[in-house]
Amino acid sequence: MKDFFKMMLASCLSNLLILGIGVFVFVALIVGSVATMVSSGENADMLVVKENSVLELDLNKSIYERTPNELDAYLEGNQVLGADVLLKSIRMAKDDDNISGIYLKMSALYNAGWALTEEIRNAIVDFKESGKFVYSYADTYSQKGYYLASVADSVFINPSGMLDFKGIAAETLFIKDLLDKLNVKVKLIRPRSNAFKSAGEMYTMTQMSQANKTQVRTYIESIWNHVVADMSAVRGISVDRLNAIADNLEAYLPADALKNALVDGLVFEHDVLVLLSEQMGLDDYDDINFVKAKKYAQSSIDVSSNKIAVIYAQGDVVQGKGTGVNVYSSVIAKALDDAADNDAVKAIVLRVNSPGGAVVASEIMTNAVIRAKQKKPIVVSMSDVAASAGYEISCNAHKIVAMPTTITGSIGVFGLYPELGGMLKNKFGVTTDTVLTNKNAAALSTMRPLSGEGYDVLVRNVEDFYVTFCQRVALGRNLTVEYVDSIARGRVWTGIDAKKLGLVDELGGMDKALDIAAELAEIDSYSILAYPKEKDFATQLMEILGEEQSLTDVLSKRTDVEKYYEMLEQINNMEPLQARLPYFINF
């Protein structure tokens, strides 16, 4: 009995201790959040841009489409920057007499996609029309980072750094042989015409299908040809010569990059700051007033009574609602309904950066777009990726704007059926037995091979949705179903090719989409109203905890392998029927 009371007391004390620590951390987070909000609010109100200021764009951080909420920013270690404030700060700096120029701080960690990179690059090109300078520095340039930096007046690199300039390679992982060794069989279910919908081939093949090779080669060559032409124009190096440099890795080492005119100097950052001060006629670089993009952008508040709602849809398409960077169907559908019903909102821009995802979620949001379209002009702005379900939710807008390097299309669907019974029996000695009331009661069980009727149902399912998908596109784009089918079939296109095919209307970024939305709404001035509505830090944290995630999970830091874990987690949590890109793009 004494031992029982000892254990009970110890258990109570440990629980109280854990609770106390949890409460302490929770209160600390809330207090810290409030302090951050007060501080940022004061800084936004008090920010005064002095003479001889330089807009500093620190692009060593992760770039989201939208400035992250406080909780997401906290979980990311405040190493996140929103493209919304980034682009706004560049626009503001162009006409600000106190801003003398832009300083780009690049690194190998730069992670934005090609389309968003080009959008930022175009904003800097526009900024340079003011006659102000742009300097760029990095210890190591990633390939996309260099594409952005190439537009600078002066591009500098650490003498011991590297410049990743080699062209684009697309590699796909195949695990069929591994699954064979494990006695796991996977059936790939897709419409008969969807040879380009290569999702699932990694489980059923040992190399790329010819159709997949064709589409991948087409879109990576389209992207590369476009960005090389851009770099050729600003660096004064022919396209052929740039390709030769890439072929032979003649720019990887800084000395070679300088010799081949890809950079303008091999220096340390201290030297760049000295050059900046000399450019500005200052005695010391300590006299330079560096202005951060986020604070600068937030110091200007739009007050127009006319609003254009910008609805951000970034991440995988998933059903329901939740936290984190995903396109949650309930959240986006509500944002579309709210914006459509808001009298102050004169038009809607749906900003899409998504490879697709769950079919049911896609249908819910597509229906919401069609509802909103009856009330307000709606324009889609495609970022890095707007493919498969990401394209379906876009196709019924009044206008679609994409960047030349946007990945889009992939109009198709697939399903996967794994058979695990063989692995459990042969590798672990686990068998199953089943009692049925009807012949196909266990037809879709992963413990046994698909029955003929089960396979037929899955085939009908993907075939029926593919027809629905093509009809959605045909209606939204004013095309025939037959034509849509001929260019669809799961094939991926760049924005350049998608425009030629009639899948998008204009090439450009968010500014272009906003201009079109304002024109459709017949308004001359407007301010931006961002959706989905942000929740305060405490509400977000309570909702997460209410979803039975532990405080430890909430506070856990990101790791270098997290992106691969997230890929596996996404695959594990995917619904059976998917309309998404056939792979995770990271090139």
Active-site annotation, residues:
197, 388
Q: Is 8 exposed, middle or buried (0-12, 13-18, 19+ CB in 10 A)?
A: exposed
Report phi then psi at 251, rounded to 5: -130, 0
Long-range pairs, 479-484, Cβ under 8 A, ≥24: 484/411
Q: Give per-residue burial for 278-302: e unless 16+ CB within 10 Å, then b.
A: ebbeeeebeebbebbbbbbbbbeee
Q: Is 402 exposed, middle or buried (0-12, 13-18, 19+ CB in 10 A)?
A: buried
Structure tokens that stand for 189 in this block? 């279910």
Q: How many CA atoms lie within 13 A of 328 on its CB side?
A: 12
Q: What is the DSSP letter of 463?
A: H
CA dist 66 → 83, 155, 353, 457 (Å): 6, 28, 11, 41
Query: What does DSSP say about strands 53-58 and 99-106: parallel, antiparallel, or unpaired?
Result: parallel
Distance, CA of 248 to CA of 204 (rounded, Å): 35
Helix (H, G, I), strand (E, B) or coil at 170: coil
Q: Give per-residue burial for 501-523: e unless 16+ CB within 10 Å, then b.
A: bebbbbbbbbbbbbebbbebbeb
Q: Is 586 exposed, middle or buried (0-12, 13-18, 19+ CB in 10 A)?
A: exposed
444 contacts: CB under 8 Å, gap ≥ 6: 417, 450, 454
Residue 272's identity, in one-letter code, is: V
Tokens 């007499």 appear where? 97
Sign of CA dihedral 486, 585, 514, 130: negative
Whether 579 contacts 389, CB under 8 Å: yes
Whether 530 contacts 307, CB under 8 Å: no
Angle at 197 between CA 196 and CA 199, to 5 degrees: 130
